[in-house]
Amino acid sequence: MNVFDRLDAAIPLNEEERMLLDSVKTLAREKIAPRAEHYDRTAQFPLDNVREINALGLNTMFIPEAYGGHPVSYTAYLACVRELAKACASTAIVWSTNFHAIKGLIDFGSEEQKQRLLPRIASGGLVALAITEPSAGSDATGMTTRFTPQGDHIVVDGGKTFISNGDVADLYLLFGKWSEIRESKRAVSALVFEKGTPGFSVLRTEDKMGHRAASTAAIGFDRCRVPRANLLGKPGEGLDILIASLNRSRPSIAAHALGIARAAFEDAVAYVNERKQSGHKIVEFQGIQFLLADLAAELAQCEAWLWYVGRLIDSGATDFGVEASMLKMRASDLAMRVTTEAVQLHGGYGYCKDYRVERLMRDAKVTQIWEGTNQIHRQLIGRHFVRR
């Protein structure tokens, strides 16, 4: 066993969770990874992979039993995200977005809402988290989507951009401003928006550098009438729901980035053990060994922090925003470094699509941008140490 095998063996999972993870590894290796190049090249939505994931029942892992789920620990969920991202980053983000979006309904929804909506996701439905707008990215409180109450309904007007699963979702956790609350931050509210609501439109899907098979859409709302029964909490409680959703999704994005990083590192190690120059395997050159040592040490340390944060959340902690920011920032920066070095170690071949490291490098970039840019995370972490 190498150091990463030992690290993986120490992930705190029970027997059932370890069996589940083994099933996910098999699915990722035998079905999802072989299709990844095709989906990246065509930018076609990975429906076959979504069906395979649903056949394994993976959506049930984050839905409570009372609503058709079979929940596992957050650590087990993170381990599954990492394995899927190793195989196909696009597929992994399609699936993990379900968790990012539905957790707000699980934690803040009423019993009636959960009984009505969660079984759809447990049975394989797709969810989108709709926060970002053209003028409201890192400062989500600058959103202008408007919720206007009208009797038993809420009229939604506005638009969102860069929404993962935006054109394929069955449900949307949608954030906007309550029209009767004047103070900007206090006005943020959240509701569950259902597919098929009149006035909803997909304005475009993005042609992206990486994660090309994962749909990312700009969506519009033109006087969409949503039942008031779909409002989460009370008007003006949306900011707390938004922050809680992001704090849970950021470790997931870190697991996603570390899956990409691990795939690139393993490809690089395999290549330098095969490639020969001047009569020697290039792994025998000291400079290559020093680089591998640095990357391996950083990867092991970052993965250890991932499992620490997983244990923290599983223990019932609620104040872990700084730890989540540290993890997301470091994991995504590392993913970009490891994939870039993997391309470099492959030489000219690394720049060609015959080897997946160039795809991994393209996929890694957005992990530094979404769920809060790493500049924002550095700001959040730094503020933690300001004495008032």
End-to-end CA gap in the chain: 49
Burial (Cβ within 10 Å: 0-12, 13-18, ≥19) of residue 304: exposed
Q: Is there a contact between 256 and 93 (Cβ–Cβ < 8 Å)?
A: yes
d(CA 136, CA 221): 16
**Cα torsion angle, 228, 229, 231, 233, sign:** positive
Task: Let me know the angle formed at the C-alpha of 194 by 96 and 230, rounded to the nearest 5 degrees.
Answer: 100
Active site amino acids: 371
